[in-house]
Structure 1
């Protein structure tokens, strides 16, 4: 989209809505909560919200956070961006009050006045520049730097006007700025804490960081000087409770008000309780089986195709997930811009699988390892796959590690073979998945396939620069087709957001991206 004058926010928002509608994907469905009828209580502001989570955050620095689960602790609580997305994934103003696209490679933002960071530093154009200069600085070594590699320069025009100049057209720029990667950091905190900023998050959001006790809890407190609508809670505690049943029991007893990472096996228990209810909403993420193509024999396309033909994903959705979620055919969920509705996954065909293994020189199969982490549903998925691969002579050992060790293996050591994983989408745009997961330079945790293909790189780059909606859709359709032909993944499930909610809570929501939305949460007394 080109422009020479000033675009009003409402007009720009309408254009985004129209563009999104062309994908036939909307977020019009309301989240589902199964309500009981508890005794009437008075809704009051204040109090402490306790959220029981399976894992610790690992990192609270937006320039190093690798999961939406970790980002959800600080995103829209401690940190805010120039723009944000509402529950329907529509771009809304936040620290920027308005913006315009000057030309193909120049975006200009007018900034909000009267905002201060939690450390008392004034929010202004200099803070925006220092934030994006930091994430792009190779000396910092940000794992999210690739998301901003199209930014050529951040230019301060005056205290409250900033321009972002790109090296080439970059259509997803607003969607990136609206994700946790686009969080604006205190320049004083950047200078003071450097790479230790993870343990000293300082933003402009409705909550301030109070403390972090590793593997135990993270505490946020109300920002008394927040520029926007005041939070309705005094304090939020993210408590690490690895045991699934214990997290849910805490909610039922009222010792926690929300529990995340709910196994589908616990849904009936939650539904039967008179003290809590189940929260379900559409999600953008997917789950898949991935292959490290740098490892033998997975470097042979025929082997990867054989495994793809040998996995019957319907039994995984039914047997492991009790039909929660839907069949995936891509790393893109159906609600993500760029999803291909015509893409076909490999059908279940053991004879074809055996024939391909024979052609590859493995008529009697081989031994390999399936890596996953200590989450019961993923372990169960690995078990189903192991059983199915026995049908074509593949002996797959299951390796279960901690979540931190799992991420470390995928990001750093790269010593995995087959892995069971998933990928969220923080932006609602295909670029977030495509570039992170499959581009040679995607880096970070994403390209755990160790895959490089110049043709695919060119498609992904073209999708980033193309401004025509229909042409972008066509580009991403071709990219997903190539990824399927290369048998890089076996997609098996489109996710749903699930949480257990105590009946004393009102106003809770999860965005389609998976972020916890707590700005309207109140506790009934």
Structure 2
């Protein structure tokens, strides 16, 4: 039975009030009904405060959400295509690829201009190929300490010159403006994920005049070419983005009958095809760090959509897997979105109790994997908003096989039989199994010191006790657990991985031997797996790589350094007046594509 504290009771009571008719019309209604003077307004929130708005530096989710609307990389994702597909953004199309994947030639659309700034001295400033040379070179600037330098460090031909004595004027063969609108990038070796890098906010184009006009303060003076420009900005409180009047972006996407699209996608594509972007005139963004405030604001009509309903509040808006009738009656819609994220419990392969590659240790880890009750996890802890992880790859990642099924299922009877067979049959006076030599067998699982962490502990205690294994939990802050994990001092821990880019390599590297001590917390180091990983990373997505991924999955299930747990289905809710909404697996916002039916918004809010 859940325990409600006074604050939770108050929130529940207010939510209950908002679920039913209300005589109060929120402040949002005034903005909507007087929108004639300011056009269509999109109302959004960010869950954390933004840091700075310099593409080379911003790395927090709030800043990235704003950056991808203010600055333009060469490429962008097709909004509707699933599987994911890249297309030209400021580039006229995908680049010409030569030299076995080591040379990329981009042609930039003429007529793209930076938004006005005093640094341009009253003149229009057109984007050129040299601006991209400058913008990418900045990532190497040691003064910036860019968190994105890894994307290119050691990969651009001749970039050692940028690292020995940095200057933005240093020319290297890997970055060349061949003419005003032609950019050539050359790599030291082929990189199958290179084009994904060219669609990240970090590679958005900036103007040298602006950067130099505000030394050390570029993040406070964002001047880009994106669909929006900065209107108002009150740090950590409120941001207003205005439609960029110079925007020449036109929507061209997957046709309504294209692969991976639905009837709803077809309708969005038809509504947007050939239209200039963005579709709204301004975006008003609030910083709303408390999830209760976000939920209440959305239900009160202050925000146009809500992504990832907090698990602790799911039952307040969702009933039997569906939106509560009172909300559905108001025209809201619920979506289940597969986030590019995998939750897994890893086991330290170098730990003396649980690690190693012998049959007895393999049987112990296999038994632990067989004890995990995914159905109970998904139903009770994830409230139905998750799917069982069959492999490291979540849906929508290149390389994901929707037909693959793990051979390791929930089977406590088989787990008990395995332990009996491989030396763990003896029990101590409390009924728990001992090691094959009769020594104490107590597993230690690290866990987060949170309410959610304690719930996870109880699930694992129940699963492991059912097969005779004693487990104790060591709670700490996640940051401290990760530090200890990298040093090899943690035996078992639940973790998760969110894709940096939508390719299988980003997940399979988590078990690559040379990555032990970094992202490979399990310290798994199996030559057969390493060899297949190295072969797969040289291949593009296709049958040959798919075969290697299948074999890597089988090795993971054979040696069990991981127990793959779940892949989240985010509960997202849309207001009835919001049009063209489709959450993207990689891009953080859809603001440029979204439209608002002002009349419907006014009617809905008046009827509340």
TM-score interval, smaller chain: 0.7 to 0.9
Count of residues paired in the alignment = 481
Alignment partners' CA distance in 1, 2:356 and 2:471: 15
Contact 1:439 1:447 in 2 (8 A): yes
Relative to the length of structure 2, the TM-score reads: 0.66
Q: 1:325 to 1:306 in 2, by over 3 A?
A: same
Contact 2:447 2:493 in 1 (8 A): yes
Asked if 1:317 is matched to 2:378, the reply is yes
Among 27, 46, 53, the residue aligned to 2:39: 46
Alignment partners' CA distance in 1, 2:506 and 2:584: 16
Alignment partners' CA distance in 1, 2:506 and 2:525: 17
What are the within-5 Å matches in structure 2 for residues 89-108 of structure 1? 89-98=84-93, 99-104=95-100, 105-108=102-105
**Hey, what does 1:173 align to over in structure 2?**
194
**Hey, what does 2:565 align to over in structure 1?**
492
Q: 1:51 to 1:133 in 2, by over 3 A?
A: same
What are the within-5 Å matches in structure 2 for residues 177-196 of structure 1? 177-180=198-201, 182-188=203-209
Q: Secondary structure at the match of 2:246?
A: coil
Q: 1:395 to 1:171 in 2, by over 3 A?
A: same
Deviation string, structure 1 residues 276-295 (Cα, Å, up to 9, x no partner):
43233444333222346566
What are the within-5 Å matches in structure 2 for residues 322-471 of structure 1? 322-340=383-401, 341-342=403-404, 344=406, 346-348=408-410, 349=412, 350-351=415-416, 352=418, 364-366=440-442, 368-372=444-448, 380-391=455-466, 392-399=469-476, 405=479, 409=483, 418-425=492-499, 427-435=501-509, 437-439=510-512, 446-449=519-522, 456-467=529-540, 469-471=542-544
Instruction: Give the C-alpha shift of residue 426 in structure 1.
Output: 5.2
Among 550, 560, 577, the residue aligned to 1:477: 550
Contact 1:331 1:433 in 2 (8 A): yes
Alignment partners' CA distance in 2, 1:137 and 1:407: 32
**Hey, what does 1:16 align to over in structure 2?**
none
Alignment partners' CA distance in 2, 1:212 and 1:438: 43
Instruction: Give the C-alpha shift of residue 48 in structure 1.
Output: 4.2
Deviates most, 460-469 or 350-359:
350-359
**Hey, what does 1:11 align to over in structure 2?**
none
What are the within-5 Å matches in structure 2 for residues 108-187 of structure 1? 108-118=105-115, 122-135=126-139, 141-148=145-152, 150-152=155-157, 153-180=174-201, 182-187=203-208
What are the within-5 Å matches in structure 2 for residues 205-284 of structure 1? 205-209=226-230, 210-211=232-233, 213-214=235-236, 216=237, 219-228=240-249, 229-231=276-278, 232-243=280-291, 245-263=292-310, 265-266=314-315, 267-268=317-318, 270-271=323-324, 272-273=326-327, 274-275=329-330, 276-284=332-340
Instruction: Give the C-alpha shift of residue 262 in structure 1.
Output: 0.9
Q: Secondary structure at the match of 2:298?
A: helix
Deviates most, 319-328 or 204-213:
204-213
Contact 1:111 1:161 in 2 (8 A): yes
Contact 1:382 1:398 in 2 (8 A): no
Deviation string, structure 1 residues 344-388 (Cα, Å, up to 9, x no partner):
2533344236858755879643353433486x7676445422443
Contact 2:338 2:570 in 1 (8 A): yes
Relative to the length of structure 1, the TM-score reads: 0.75
Contact 2:46 2:285 in 1 (8 A): no
Q: Secondary structure at the match of 1:235?
A: strand
Instruction: Give the C-alpha shift of residue 190 in structure 1.
Output: 5.8
Alignment partners' CA distance in 1, 2:550 and 2:140: 30
Structure 1: which 5+ runs fail to align?
A: 1-40
What's the RMSD between the two structures over aligned residues? 4.2
Q: 1:387 to 1:488 in 2, by over 3 A?
A: same
Q: Secondary structure at the match of 2:537?
A: helix
Contact 2:343 2:495 in 1 (8 A): yes
Contact 2:448 2:477 in 1 (8 A): yes
Alignment partners' CA distance in 1, 2:399 and 2:352: 32
Contact 1:85 1:178 in 2 (8 A): yes
Structure 2: which 5+ runs fail to align?
A: 1-31, 158-173, 250-275, 425-433, 603-608
